[in-house]
Amino acid sequence: MNIIIPIKQVPETSNVKMDKEKGTMIRDGVQTVINPLDLYALETGIQLKEKFGGKITVISMGPPSATKALKEAIAMGCDDAVLLSDKKFAGSDTWATSYTISQSIKEMGDYDLIIAGERATDGDTGQVGPGIAAWLDLPLATYVSKIEKVDETELVVERLVEEGYQKLQMPMPALLTVVKEISHPRLPTLRGKKKARVSEIPIFTAEKMNLKPESLGLNGSPTKVVKIDFPTVTRGGTVVKVEGETGVEEAVDKLLDFLKRKELI
C-alpha cells in the first residue's frame, strides 16, 4: 500500500505573528513544529504500513527549514519525503496550497491512500485536505475516527459527525482527514533518527512541476485578507497591598464591600 501524507510545519502557538500589511503569517525566524493534528495522520499511516506493508511518502510545502518536519516524520517511521519549496508559493491560501500539493502528488505517480490531519493549527480552516481531494477528483471522508477495513479496492471508515458517528464505504484510491480519536502518535526512534539524518529530501519547485505562476502564491489565492485586528483585553481591577495586621483587616473589608456591590454575598 502506497500512502501519501501531507504535513505542515506551523509556528508554536505562543509564537504566532502576523504581518498587518500583507495579511499573512510571519514565518521567518519563528520556532516551528509539525502541525500537532498531522501527527495523528502520520501514526495512522504508519500503522497501516505495519499491517499491510508498502511505503509512506510525506509531503510538506514551505521554506527550506520545513525539512526539519519531514525528517521528524521519517524518524517516526515514514519512508520518503518531498519538500515543495519555491518563492512563488509564498502567501498561498488554502486554494493555492491544495492545488500545489495536488500537482506534486500527480508528479509522484501511483498511490492508494492520502491521509491528512483534520486541520492546521495556524490557519484552522480544515480546507486543504478536501481541496486536494477535489483537485485530484478523489473520494473524500473527513473527520475520520476509525478505519475498520482496508483492501485493494475499498475501505470502510467511521467518521465523527454532530449526531455521533457515520460509517462510510469508499473505493480506493481515496483521501481521508483524521481526528485525534484515530490514534496515539508515537515518538521518533533512534533507528528512525539515524535514517532521517542521512535521508536526501528532493525539492519540487514550480518549474519542476510545470506550474503556471498565476495559479500560485498570492497571485493564485482568491482569499484576500483585507484587515487584521488584534483583540484588546480591557480588564480593570483594584490591587490592594497588605502591610501589617491593620492592612489585612482593611483588605478583607474592601473585599467584602466589593462582593456586596456585585451582589455575590
pLDDT in tens, 73-130: 999 999 999 999 999 999 899 999 999 999 999 998 899 999 999 999 888 899 999 9
Asked if 155 and 239 sit in the same domain, the reply is no
Its pTM stands at 0.80
Report the chain's mean pLDDT, rounded to a whole number: 89
Average pLDDT for residues 230-239, to the nearest whole number?
Answer: 72
In a domain, 259, yes or no: yes
| 11 — pLDDT class (breaks 50, 70, 90) | confident
Asked if 123 and 207 sit in the same domain, the reply is yes
Asked if 39 and 133 sit in the same domain, the reply is yes
In a domain, 154, yes or no: yes
Q: What integer pLDDT is reported at residue 126 of this predicted model?
A: 92
Res. 15: pLDDT tops 70:
no
Asked if 160 and 265 sit in the same domain, the reply is no
Q: What integer pLDDT is reported at residue 96 of this predicted model?
A: 95
In a domain, 58, yes or no: yes
What is the distance between the alpha carbons of residues 178 and 130, in angstroms, rounded to a whole number?
A: 12
- Over residues 34-46, the pLDDT tens digits come to 999 999 999 999 9
In a domain, 220, yes or no: no
Cell digits of residue 158: 467511521
Task: Tell me which of 262 and 21 has the higher pLDDT.
Answer: 262
Looking at residue 122, which CATH number applies to its domain? Answer: 3.40.50.620
In a domain, 225, yes or no: no
Asked if 249 and 211 sit in the same domain, the reply is no
- 3-class secondary-structure state, position 60: strand
φ and ψ at residue 223, rounded to 5 degrees: -85, 120
Residue whose C-alpha cell reads 478583607 in the numeric block: 252
Residue 240 belongs to domain spanning: 231-265
| 31 — pLDDT class (breaks 50, 70, 90) | confident
In a domain, 224, yes or no: no
- Residues forming beta bridges with residue 154, ordered by sequence position: 171
Rg for the chain (alpha carbons), in Å? 24
In a domain, 89, yes or no: yes
What is the distance between the alpha carbons of residues 91 and 45, in angstroms, rounded to a whole number?
A: 29
Number of folded domains that form the chain: 2
Asked if 249 and 184 sit in the same domain, the reply is no
Asked if 206 and 240 sit in the same domain, the reply is no
